[in-house]
Chain A
Amino acid sequence: MSAALYGLLAEFPTADLLLAAARAARARGHALEAYSPFAVEGLDEAVGFTRNAMPLVTFLGGLLGGLGGYGLQWYSAVIDYPINVGGRPLDSWPAFIPATFALTILGAALAAVVGMLAANGLPRLRHPLFDIREFDLASRNRFFLCLRPGEAGLDLPAARTFLTEQGALAIWEAVE
């Protein structure tokens, strides 16, 4: 088979084993990915994921929504078509607040979701790991660790033995 290796995938029965395996693999300098049916606390650090941009993105989205919202109201009511409505001032800022507030939240929420998906590279309907039938259990009750060939490459036999030591139930080679 000529296809490039995606990684070495190992199945674990519990989150604790996966966590331990991930930490150990990281210590051995592996590039790795971990898969679990629910968010396992500490797993992200274990796979070396540290900086999370979600809050910033959300804040910017909110800022944009808020300023844009008020700006739109002010422009349309004061600049573009000033009309005397019930003797109220053109720039009735107190009355502009509810819409501004709503738009702030809308902007923030959209930014959070879109940002999250984008950062996660989703949607991605195809993935090499899906080729492995047992990987379906990643969304049910099994925990998976995938050692990626970094620029150093992957010493398959060594990796296999390492994973078995960590208590892997089964091991597969995933190809691109």
Chain B
Amino acid sequence: MASRTQPPVSRDIGVLKAGWRYASISDKIADTVLSRPTGWPGWLLFLATFAGTLAFFGATAWLFAVGVGIWGVNIPVAWGYAIGNFVWWIGIGHAGTFISAVLYLLRQRWRTSINRFAESMTLFAAGIAGLFPILHLGRPWFFYWLIPYPDVMNVWPQWRSPLVWDFFAIATYLTVSLLFWYVGLIPDLATLRDRAATPFKRYAYGLAALGWRGEARHWARYEHAYLLLAGLATPLVVLVHSVVSLDFAVGNTPGYHSTIFPPYFVAGALFSGFAMVLTLAIPLRRFFGLEDFITGKHLEYAAKVVLATSWIVLYSYGAEIFTAFYSGDEFEVAIVMDRWTGAYAPVYWAMLACNVGVPQLLWWRRVRRSVPALFVISLLVNLGMWMERFLIVVSSLHHDFMPSAWGMFYPTFWDWAFLFGSIAFFVWLFLVFLRLLPAISIAEMRLLVRESAEEGR
């Protein structure tokens, strides 16, 4: 039993197992970064993904040298994998901020132990997503013309273009997510600084910690700022994917031009985002032995969110079809028919299976509590969401208004190289993060220890 003079010991409250104290929990998490050896599986994965990362940048060099013609894009399908990947990644980059901001505002305690790595996931995914629109340019070295600055040409960005909105939305999203993530890190960086064994680490973490001391007034302002950031990040979560969806919805292309897109994209984003959280959390807790902090409860909650969002996504699919036939617009109808029976129909049905069919398994508690099942499902959902992005981008374009201009998109080797390269890059970044920074917020876990103990009083 905890007393005023004895440091508290945690009890099992589902999202945190029993028997942890301030010290032990601090050391446990901090030492996964500071002293825990990587081990050969870690190294293997690291090197593999690093090779993939190099391949990604090699492909980029080739792209800049030769031009976007190395991809399968053409007229009419002028956008291909690059934009599909962009939307996919930006979607994945949503769960993080949603978890840390929205769940924080809602005072969801299960947020505490997953927000840190979810935010990191967000940063990396959004960062990679941000690369693709630039890679996809015909003249990428002029991407900065989207930035308003007084140039010698006296010309400005064209503000009516959703791509400009994109630019601002994503830049803001990245910045705010980064700030949010970093502010959350400061106390933990101080912990690492004070526990680091070597001067170099002390310097590195010390610089990053900005000399944080945990003074009461600092904590007060800190908490306030953090709350405000959460409040600001919340509308941003909605904004970003809404704007991304406007890239399509603002266009007049049948299959793009639909008002359902913003909510549809946001839901899809959370859907894929939480799937990715599962994909990462499951091996993470396993390899670092963090089952006490990332418990079955966490996985189950995430699974429930996936299940819920899968229904919103299903609704959006339905809405698209309904509006097509209800409006009777021959072009919209033609696109829907093409999705069902056309050249890309197999992708469409596979997508439905992954995004709508598979998640229904989560109705069963046994499935929700089976870690392997959750892992497989999360992977399938990610696959399905990628196929959805592909369909939105490609299948809409290849059958638009003028049958004389219809065409097909066939991915080339380079299209695949960029997709898998970006995935490798993402995993690599995540591994680096795991080795350098605490995957779970130490300060907040201490607080959780205290709360769980006091509940026992």
Contacts and interface: CB of A to CB of B under 8 A. Distances in A.
Chains A and B in contact, CB within 8 Å: yes
Nearest to B220: A44
B159 interface: yes
Interface of B: 4-8, 21-23, 26-27, 148, 154-160, 162, 164-165, 168-169, 171-172, 175-176, 179-180, 183, 187, 190-191, 193-195, 206-207, 210-225, 228-229, 232-233, 235-236, 239, 243, 246, 443-444, 446-447, 450
Contacts, number: 209
Interface hub of B157, B172, B210, B246 (most chain A Cβ within 10 A): B172
A103 interface: yes
Nearest to B26: A140
Contacts of A125: 206-207, 210-211
A11 to B, nearest CB: 12
B7 A122 contact: no
- The B contact surface, by secondary structure, is helix
Contacts of B446: 37-38, 141
B211 A123 contact: yes
A106 B172 contact: yes
A140 B158 contact: no
B255 to A, nearest CB: 21
B216 A40 contact: yes
A140 B191 contact: yes
13 contacts: A15-B450, A16-B4, A34-B215, A39-B222, A39-B223, A92-B159, A98-B239, A102-B165, A102-B171, A105-B172, A122-B211, A136-B194, A140-B22
A126 B211 CA distance: 7
**B168, B215, B222 pick with most chain A CB within 10 angstroms:** B215
Given A37-B214, A102-B168, 10 more contacts: A14-B4, A14-B7, A35-B214, A38-B219, A47-B216, A62-B232, A99-B165, A109-B232, A139-B214, A140-B27
Interface string A52-79: 1011001000100000010011001100
Interface string A75-106: 01100110001101000100110110111011
A99 B5 CA distance: 54
A43 B216 CA distance: 6
A102 B26 contact: no
B23 A140 contact: yes
A99 B194 CA distance: 42
Contact of B154 (A52, A80, A113, A115): A80
A141 B224 contact: no
B160 A117 contact: no
Contacts of A69: 168
A62 B176 CA distance: 13
Contact of B148 (A22, A72, A129): A72
Contacts of B4: 14, 16-17, 20
Given A33-B215, A98-B169, A141-B22, A109 B175 contact: yes
A150 to B, nearest CB: 16
